[in-house]
Amino acid sequence: MQIATTNPEALAAPPSIDASSLYDMVLNGGPLMVPIALCSIVALAYTVERWTRLRSGALGGQRLVGTLVENVRMNGPQRGLELCEQSRTSLARILAVGLRLRGQPFLEIEKAVEDAGSREVGRLSANLRPLVVVAMIAPLLGLLGTVWGMIGAFGNIALQDGLGKPELLASGISQALITTAAGLAVAIPTQAAYYWFKSRIERFIRLTEDAHLELSAVEVLPEEAA
């Protein structure tokens, strides 16, 4: 009976990807890791920019509304306008339009405030579009990298007569899947940031509507306003 000889090469560990560092993983992911990395830089830049622009201090909040209501009641619309100019927030710019037109026909005031609100919301939403683009493109780039890597892996097996050598296929597939993981790693937080910013803008719109109605209903005290 013949005993099969042990082949040291067959027992050797299959080639694996050195994932000891992010840099090694990027290198092993292939050329499509470059546009994915660019997508991550774009997403990070616009996320920081929108976070700075949509923070409470830049938008205005309930504290500003309370201060305006109290000052308009006690000192009249002119004092409210002065506070809006000092605030320099999006909410203050919208409410200032209504204060300037105080005493005019209701429909005229509503139209002016609505137009001012639309302009402010348009500016707040302007730089959200790049986040949507990155969230859509990054996983597609990752999928393209995976498909490209799979093609290369099966091509290597065919050229090297690797049928029956799963280690060759496993190495190629492992390398190809890096791009998919990278694309998803960029797209998921980008999408989350986009929806968080959208919710901030929607809350700001509701706050602005409530603040305008509250400010419009304020009755100026004659003895104090004089």
HEC string for 44-107? HHHHHHHHHHCCHHHHCCHHHHHHHHHHHHHHCHHHHHHHHHHHCCHHHHHHHHHHHCCCCCHH
Give the Cβ contact number of residue 182 at 10 Å.
25
What pLDDT is stored for residue 225 in this prediction? 43
What pLDDT is stored for residue 216 in this prediction? 84
Half-sphere exposure of 51 (CA within 13 A, CB side): 9
Statement: residue 132 has pLDDT above 50: yes
Of the pLDDT bands very low, low, confident and very high (cuts 50, 70, 90), residue 3 is very low
Residue range 184-210: mean pLDDT, rounded: 94
Give the C-alpha distances (Å, rounded to integers) separating 189 from 43, 48, 185, 203: 9, 13, 7, 21
pLDDT digits (tens, 9 = 90+) for 144-177: 888 887 877 777 666 665 555 666 666 667 777 8
Q: What percent of the chain has pLDDT over 90?
A: 32
pLDDT digits (tens, 9 = 90+) for 59-92: 888 888 888 888 888 888 888 888 888 888 899 9
Of 97, 99, 92, the closest CA to residue 116 belongs to 97
Residues 6 or more apart from 148 whose CB is under 8 A from it?
Answer: 30, 32, 176
Lowest mean pLDDT among 15-19, 90-94, 202-206: 15-19
Residue of 21 and 216 predicted with greater confidence: 216
What pLDDT is stored for residue 162 in this prediction? 52
Residue range 51-62: mean pLDDT, rounded: 88
Determine contact, residues 175/29, Cβ cutoff 8 Å.
Answer: yes
What pLDDT is stored for residue 197 in this prediction? 95
Where exactly are the structural domains of the chain? 56-125+208-225
Statement: residue 4 has pLDDT above 70: no
Residue range 131-148: mean pLDDT, rounded: 91
Residue range 104-133: mean pLDDT, rounded: 90
Determine contact, residues 92/212, Cβ cutoff 8 Å.
Answer: no
For CA atoms 64, 66, 69, 71, the dihedral sign is: negative
